[in-house]
Structure formats: structure tokens, C-alpha cells
């Protein structure tokens, strides 16, 4: 089981979302992403770094690395083949932009870009398709992950979001 190293700066974000999530869910319930969109939070509060017409980019609240982004449609859809042509085009355009921005902001040595379709594939929020864009460095899976099953993150989410918003704005 993966353990987590206490990062006190994350408590405010988690508590804010728990308070917001306690409000009435959107009609039909919805994924955490649908609830975030319906919450009334500002993009800054929700760590949304880019909005398009049919899709948006949000910072992962529990990232594998600083700058870990999720690109997804506004519409809650589980499968790639259920996206409209417009959603498909914008999704992949935003994924490409996210790769450019992450490379420009973080200068990683590599990136992971991927989708988990369905719970058996590891999709923890499988009802709402999302593409991960994760910066990677040699050695980023250090002894903490290998020995203690713990990840460390050097940067508060709010700082990551600010840097990434500026990166998208400069495209």
C-alpha cells in the first residue's frame, strides 16, 4: 500500500474541496470532475489551468510529480469512442498544448501521456475520461517510493497551477 508523506500545504486544498463537495451534487451525481465544474469554484480555487470550448485542463490534486495535468472533456463520458468529433479534436489539441507547456515550465527529461479506460485498467475515476500528462526525471522514483511507498512533491499545487497557467497563456 502506498503511504503518503505529510505535506501540510495540501490540507487547505483538500479541506476546501471536502466543504464544496458537501454541497448538493449536480443532477445525476457525477464524477469529481463534474462536481468541481458545478461547484462554483473559480479556476484558481479548482486548479483549472486552461479552458477550451469542449474540454479543459486541470492540475491533478494528487500528482505523481509537480506539473501533473489532466486533460478532459467537460461532458462526463467514459470512453474515447463516445466523444464527439469536436471533443476529440480539442482533447488531443489540448494534450499537445499541455505537453508543450509542461516541457516549457518544468524542463522534464521525459513525459508520460496516457489514459486508463475502465476500472480494470487502473482508472480511479473511470466514468469521466481524462488524459494524464506527467513530467518525469531520471531518479524521480527515488528511495521514498521504493522503500517507503511514499511520494514527495517539492511544490505547492497553487504554485504549479500558476506556472502552468502562464505557460498556456504564452502559447
- Judge whether residue 11 has pLDDT over 90: no
Between the CA of residue 82 and those of 27, 120, 132, what are the distances in Å?
21, 19, 19
pLDDT at position 62 is: 87
The model's pTM is 0.81
Query: Where do the domains of the chain lie, and which CATH numbers do they carry?
Result: 3-169 (3.30.428.10)
What's the distance, CA 82 to chain centroid? 21
Catalytic residue among 68, 128, 130, 132: 130
Task: Compute the distance between CA of residue 106 and CA of residue 120 in angstroms, rounded to an integer.
Answer: 31
Listed range (16-20, 77-81, 84-88) with the worst mean pLDDT: 16-20
85-101, pLDDT tens digit by residue?
999 999 999 999 999 99
List 73's β-bridge partners, or say none: 55
What φ, ψ does residue 13 adopt, rounded to 5°? Answer: -65, -50
Task: Compute the distance between CA of residue 65 and CA of residue 82 in angstroms, rounded to an integer.
Answer: 30
Task: Look up 4 and say whether it is catalytic.
Answer: no
Amino acid at each position: 500500500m502506498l503511504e503518503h508523506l505529510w505535506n501540510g500545504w495540501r490540507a487547505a486544498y483538500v479541506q476546501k474541496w471536502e466543504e464544496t463537495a458537501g454541497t448538493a451534487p449536480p443532477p445525476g451525481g457525477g464524477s469529481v470532475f463534474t462536481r468541481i465544474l458545478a461547484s462554483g469554484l473559480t479556476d484558481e480555487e479548482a486548479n483549472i489551468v486552461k479552458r477550451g470550448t469542449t474540454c479543459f485542463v486541470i492540475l491533478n490534486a494528487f500528482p505523481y510529480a509537480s506539473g501533473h495535468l489532466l486533460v478532459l472533456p467537460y461532458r462526463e463520458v467514459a470512453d474515447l469512442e463516445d466523444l464527439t468529433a469536436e471533443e476529440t479534436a480539442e482533447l488531443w489539441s489540448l494534450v499537445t498544448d499541455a505537453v508543450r507547456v509542461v516541457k516549457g515550465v518544468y524542463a522534464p527529461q521525459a513525459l508520460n501521456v496516457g489514459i486508463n479506460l475502465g476500472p480494470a485498467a487502473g482508472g480511479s475515476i473511470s466514468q469521466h475520461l481524462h488524459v494524464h500528462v506527467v513530467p518525469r526525471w531520471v531518479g524521480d522514483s527515488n528511495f521514498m517510493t521504493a522503500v517507503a511507498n511514499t511520494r514527495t512533491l517539492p511544490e505547492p499545487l497553487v504554485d504549479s497551477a500558476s506556472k502552468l497557467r502562464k505557460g498556456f497563456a504564452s502559447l
